Amino acid sequence: PAEEKAQLLQNAEYQETMVESTFMYLTLDLPTAPLYKDEKEQLIIPQVPLFSILAKFNGATEKEYKTYKENFLKRFQLTKLPPYLIFCIKRFTKNNFFVEKNPTIVNFPITNVDLREYLSEEVQAVHTNTTYDLIANIVHDGKPSEGSYRIHVLHHGTGKWYELQDLQVTDILPQMITLSEAYIQIWKRREEDETKQQGA
């Protein structure tokens, strides 16, 4: 409860601390996949919007972390938007016995993902361009131990998407990319002139 939290924050051990750290990629946590089936006994494939799992970085969403010594809450907020962003969608969880894979489909747009709301107001004033377009999408198919990987790549010159698996290269429609079990994504920030052209 809010009152209890406010009271605890008066104690020294519950004081909030802020740490700034660099990142190579942003880890996006998937909600736990449901184990139930629908009326026709078909397994339900859960889906989640990209913006729901990006909420981890809005500066307000808290997540509990546990170590063998202590429990603590963390909030994340972006302080800088680099030219390229890598998202790692956390599909695999490991325990003492086996690795599990979460099959949840992430619904994401291919273009025009605006990350402005994940920046503080001071940082928003500095960043004029906060919009990203997908340029690569790595997919994991199958079981965690014996699955395979595919990659979707945008050919910048033609604007066409291609799917690569081993030595096979095929065309793919952009709308088919969003139906895959995305694992790692690479996003490119739009330059100012590109943003103007999109708006024209």
What confidence tens digit (pLDDT) does each residue in 68-94 have?
A: 777 788 899 998 899 999 999 999 988
More confident residue, 39 or 13: 13
Say if 152 falls within a structural domain.
no
The predicted pLDDT at position 116 comes to: 92
More confident residue, 120 or 26: 26
Say if 64 falls within a structural domain.
yes
Domain that holds residue 134: 22-33+44-140+175-190
- pLDDT at 128 > cutoff 80: yes
User: 127: buried, middle or exposed (CB in 10 Å: 19+, 13-18, 0-12)?
Assistant: middle
pLDDT band, residue 19 (cuts 50/70/90) = confident
pLDDT band, residue 200 (cuts 50/70/90) = very low
The predicted pLDDT at position 10 comes to: 80
Say if 115 falls within a structural domain.
yes
Tokens of 70: 């202590």
Say if 157 falls within a structural domain.
no
Contact 124, 115 (CB under 8 A): no
The predicted pLDDT at position 38 comes to: 60
Number of domains, the chain: 1
What confidence tens digit (pLDDT) does each residue in 136-186 have?
A: 999 998 888 888 899 999 998 999 999 999 899 999 999 999 988 999 999
For the chain, percent helix, then strand, then coil, each to nearest 5? 20, 40, 40
